[in-house]
Amino acid sequence: MTDLDPAQIQAVEARIATELARLAHPRQPGGQPLAPAPYVRRHLSEHAAAGHHINDHILPRTFLPYVDLPRLRAALGATDGTMRLPLLPALRRASHLWNYTNPEANDTALHMWASALRLTDAEPGDQSPWRIHWAQWQPGDSEIVGRHTDGVVAVATTTLDGRQVAVTGSDDDTVRVWDLGTGRPIGDPLT
């Protein structure tokens, strides 16, 4: 077997992403929204990142509420290619609210954060029942990674197995480790 050079792999991944993007638009047979296929929802962003092809054409606005956001965040952290995804700041801010099984709520959260951040592509997708006409917010550069059930009283960051992580301690008597690239917890809470 012949090893492919990185440029060939990148080109193949870009072609895969381009073909999968054709399947990324939700359909509405009979007026009911039908989500893109699970493979597309979970892996389109990974193929796009590997192909250095992350943009709003491959990951269109109508697809974003359906995306597997932790996988997208991990893919973004692994790519060194160029990205043109105008709603990325809103996606990062909404990640603690994201629910793979609830694209309507994801669309609303994305719309809310896009409006608050005054992003040019702030219009909601087809899934949100809400339309935000005005938002006043002065967000900083921070992101909410996850949640405890009580107040967080301690935070530390470090590198664990090559990943940037945050370790948080809470009044709920737990310590949690969070992958800062994906926003997901690592393992169960420590008690």
Q: At what angle do helices 38-50 and 69-78 cross, to 10 degrees?
A: 10
Give pLDDT, residue 128: 62
Per-residue pLDDT reduced to its tens digit, 67-85: 999 899 888 876 666 678 8
Pairing type for strands 83-84 and 54-55 reads parallel
| Inter-residue contact 44 to 21 (CB < 8 Å) | yes
Residue 153 CB partners (closer than 8 Å, separation 6+): 169, 170, 171
Burial of 31 (0-12, 13-18, 19+ CB in 10 A): exposed
Q: Would you list the domain boundaries of the chain? A: 6-116, 145-191
* Digit-coded pLDDT (tens) for 161-176: 888 888 988 888 889 8
The answer to whether residue 16 scores a pLDDT higher than 90 is yes
Taking the C-alpha atoms of residue 79 and residue 73, their distance in angstroms, rounded to an integer, is 10
Residue 37 carries which DSSP code? P
**Residue type present at position 125:** G
Calpha distance 45→7 (Å, rounded) = 18
Name the pTM for this structure.
0.74
Please, what is the angle between helix 38-50 and helix 6-21, to 10°?
A: 150
Model confidence at 121, pLDDT cuts 50, 70, 90, reads low
Contacts of 18 (CB under 8 A, 6+ apart): 53, 58
Give the pLDDT confidence score for residue 83 in this predicted structure. 72
Which residue(s) pair with 83 in the sheet? 54
Q: Specify the pLDDT at position 82.
A: 63
Q: What is the pLDDT at residue 183?
A: 76
Mean pLDDT taken over the chain: 84
Given a cut of 90, is residue 40 above it in pLDDT? Answer: yes
Burial of 12 (0-12, 13-18, 19+ CB in 10 A): middle
Most confident of 2-11, 15-24, 91-100, 103-112: 15-24
Residue 140 banded pLDDT, cuts 50, 70, 90: low
Query: In angstroms, how far apart are the furthest CA atoms of the chain?
Result: 58
